[in-house]
Amino acid sequence: MTSAELSEPTEDELDVLVSIAIRRAELLVNMRSPISAEAWHEVMAYEEQLARITSSAEIAGGVARAGAVTAALAAGRRPDARRLAAQYLAEDALPSERRTVIERAIEQDAKLLAQRFPALTKRGRLGWIDELGAWRINVLANPHVFPCPA
């Protein structure tokens, strides 16, 4: 392979990958497949990469940022979604409509969690869900039964 073949994907190539990945994730959700969360994580990765190479002021950049947050939530990766939302909302050039989409997605997820876990909500312990999610992501990234030697 030449160095040209190993280059980063272009914006157009990422757009195609995002479209394919979204369709795949939607189909897997409809089939109630256990790997649908992984498919949404793939969407998140493509959207995040697209956000890195585009300006938040551009339509494609704003859509990619909102898409990365919503895909992270669909993948059940709330800590990633909150991290990305904070990062993207801090960008001054992000258009107000994309800012609203990101904020609304985070708010709707918080409402969903509150409905799903009323006892934790009542006790003010809903933050445990984020801690559990971060632990889950760590375990998935490092699937070792026993700790690796230093």
Q: Where are the alpha helices (DSSP H) in the chain?
A: 11-30, 36-53, 59-74, 78-89, 96-116, 118-122, 127-141
Confidence class of residue 116 from pLDDT cuts 50, 70 and 90?
Answer: confident
pLDDT at 104: 97
Rounded to whole angstroms, how far apart are CA atoms 122 and 44? Answer: 31
Q: For residue range 20-72, what is the model confidence (pLDDT) as tens digits?
A: 999 999 999 999 999 999 999 999 999 999 999 999 999 999 999 999 999 99
